Copies of this chain bind each other. A is one copy, B any other.
């Protein structure tokens, strides 16, 4: 494996850029190939079967980019596909759920942990099952927040409507007196201040993006895959691919990253087929 090869990062859309930002902060010399499935976004309300099929196509695309490791920067895709796609490849594949669960487990004092995310992420109970592996006495309360993503995408980051929706979604978690809350969707850190104000200062907010980047660094070190080169031209170090037209991701990326993305490439992700027989899960 070429240690100077890029790391693949994928998401259902542009939200995974919050994970890219953390990777750039922590291991700035790594090259990154990002894929955002903007033609089929969102994943959060779709079935496991569909999301797994999409993740497998994306893995085929990332293989053509000769990546040395993959970060699944989407909670729903981690929940529905991480286990299968990890088994189906030889390179390390890191999801956002386990790192998020580990930080929450370390942060909680009263053992009551809240998880917010898409319908798929919450229904799966995957955060709860990781948390209970770490400490079976944890009480985990999940709450799907399907309006948060459209509110973020509509730009209502600081708005009375977002406040009101947050009050409703977080009501039960407040009543159950959680002391730790996992933001189980890559869009949520963008309305962090609303979530923080609504749930209260006493509750620790966990952003899995940060810890995912820490785990990526550890895995690359462990596998002796840390890049040895250094790029002077930052634009050439990061490549962005999407399945719908590239304008949106450029706008979003430029609002999140500390440098300008000059170009994103559009690909037809449906063309990336995989061998059904190799997959243990029928679909």
Contacts and interface: CB of A to CB of B under 8 A. Distances in A.
Contacts of A50: 39, 243-245
Give chain A's interface residue range (CB within 8 Å of chain B).
20 to 34
A146 interface: yes
Number of copies: 2
A172 interface: no
A257 to B, nearest CB: 22
B49 A245 contact: yes
Given A40-B40, A165-B161, A244 B47 contact: yes
Interface string A149-172: 011011000001100110000000
A218 interface: no
Interface in A46-72: 46-47, 49-50
A120 to B, nearest CB: 11
A160 B151 CA distance: 16
A212 interface: no
Given A39-B40, A46-B39, A46-B244, A154 B161 contact: no
Nearest to A46: B244
Given A39-B40, A46-B38, A243-B50, A154 B146 contact: yes
21 contacts: A39-B40, A39-B46, A39-B50, A45-B153, A46-B245, A47-B244, A47-B245, A49-B245, A50-B243, A50-B244, A50-B245, A146-B150, A146-B153, A146-B154, A147-B150, A147-B151, A150-B150, A160-B164, A161-B161, A161-B164, A270-B270
Given A39-B46, A45-B153, 19 more contacts: A38-B46, A39-B40, A46-B245, A47-B244, A49-B245, A50-B243, A50-B244, A50-B245, A146-B153, A146-B154, A147-B150, A147-B151, A147-B154, A150-B150, A160-B164, A161-B161, A161-B165, A164-B164, A270-B270
